[in-house]
Amino acid sequence: LYDAKTTLRSTVLVPTAKVGPQPWKYTTDAPAEGWHQPDFDDSAWTTGMSAFGAKRTDIVPVNTVWNTANIHLRKEFNLAEAPTGEIWLDVLHDDDVEVFLNGKSVLKLPNRVGNYQLNPLGPEAVQALKPGKNVIAVSCRQDRGGQNVDVGVLQVDKVAP
């Protein structure tokens, strides 16, 4: 992907709970159609602080209890300008997760991970973001065992050596 001389610089667009609890709108009920679209009205959803899960983990504190089969999350964020470089997601999930940017599905991951994982996205993720209001939407399904979800968005740029 990158050679040893490549330096990467990241800019946090949506922080994870690793830097402190972050507010998200969420529901554990089946959401209405189009819930992941930017113009969806989530005003009836509850506001909770990340990370979401069944109990505290060694990875990150659980700030909002989630102990049902599914959770759906939404968060608005603003960009001063269209992103350059690449878009990466920093994702902690147990179990299956799907992430949308402005209504476009940009990442699906099965099962679980034991810690946060960086996931470089394709050019469609950069194209999905725009100056002004943007929306990230996340769906996570619990199967068995541990239970948690937290997602952040990074802009990653190559810096000339």
Per-residue confidence (pLDDT) for residue 56, from 0 to 100: 63
Q: What distance separates the 2 farthest-apart alpha carbons in the chain?
A: 49
- The rounded percent of the chain whose pLDDT value lies above 90 is 76
Per-residue confidence (pLDDT) for residue 8, from 0 to 100: 85
Distance CA 147, CA 104 (A): 25
The residue ranking higher by pLDDT, 40 or 61, is: 40
Per-residue confidence (pLDDT) for residue 48, from 0 to 100: 98
Q: What is the mean pLDDT of residues 49-57?
A: 85
Average pLDDT of the chain to the nearest whole number: 91
Q: What is the mean pLDDT of residues 104-124?
A: 92
Per-residue confidence (pLDDT) for residue 41, from 0 to 100: 97
| Tens-place pLDDT, residues 32-45 | 999 999 999 999 99
Q: What is the pTM of this model?
A: 0.92
12 touches 152 (CB < 8 A): yes
Per-residue confidence (pLDDT) for residue 94, from 0 to 100: 86
Distance CA 73, CA 51 (A): 11
Q: Is the pLDDT of residue 75 over 80?
A: yes
Enumerate residues 6+ apart whose C-beta is below 8 A from 27: 45, 46, 71, 72
Q: Is the pLDDT of residue 52 over 70?
A: yes
| Tens-place pLDDT, residues 82-102 | 998 899 999 999 889 999 999
Q: What amino acid occupies position 2?
A: Y
